[in-house]
Amino acid sequence: MLEVRGLNAWYDESHIVRGVDLDVAAGEIVTLVGRNGAGKTTTLRTIMGMTAKRGGSVTFEGSAIGTWRSDRIAKRGIGFVPEERGIFSTLSVYENLTLPPVVGPAAWPLERIYAFFPILRERGAAVGTTLSGGEQQMLAIARVLRSGARLILLDEPTEGLAPVIVNAIATLLLEIKRAGVTVLLVEQNVRFATRVSDRHYLMVHGQIVESLRNDEVRERESALLAHLGV
């Protein structure tokens, strides 16, 4: 579904992402693992067309999208959920779900959203500032599904969440995967990543240094946790 080759990105004169190659097949959850500052978020933002100075190639479902603007990429079927979630804090849950335009045939109707996220139906009239961190994360994911994303770029979904909510997010991602949605995930929580993901790319100083299977991550968990500073 997604093929990235020789991806580079800069912020001003700082070369952040350096020649990244990665692939994500349809129906997979793939994780970018690395320390803070390794370039993981910038990789997602560059795939999404959100960095002005970039190079390399990005192909999505056979279309070269590496030079496209982010709005065109979203219309093609990629959704981005940032670490800060980006919900409209003064709007209700219902308004957050229905305000963004539906941009593709894969868009989930509201009833399907509510079937996957029953808490969002219950909290439909609540404004964003009153939602818990877990509810905000569910709303952010639901919103891109509502808009028509077939591939979700998901940045640090467990950051700042209690363990019980982390478990709920893991269950949710596995359910979304079974529904046919593909995810490229940035995550530092190695145990969470091995629970939900099929494969992992280890990123160091803006470069992919290893591609790892789940069993390889589990075998090296202690070393990886030490490397990540977790």
- Parent domain of 45: 2-228
Q: Give the mean pLDDT of 61-75.
A: 95
What span, in angstroms and rounded, lies between the C-alpha atoms of 154 and 134? 14
The string of pLDDT tens digits covering residues 138-182 is 999 999 999 999 999 999 999 888 899 999 999 999 999 999 999
Going by C-beta distance under 8 Å and a sequence separation of 6 or more, which residues neighbour residue 224? 33, 190, 202, 217
User: Which CATH number does the domain housing residue 59 bear?
Assistant: 3.40.50.300
Q: pLDDT per residue over 182-216, tens digit each?
A: 999 999 888 899 999 999 999 999 999 999 998 88
So what's the pLDDT on residue 121? 96
**C-alpha–C-alpha distance, residues 126 and 124, integer Å:** 6
pTM: 0.94
Which ranges constitute the DSSP H helices of 2-132? 40-47, 70-76, 93-98, 110-116, 118-122
Q: Number of structural domains, the chain? A: 1
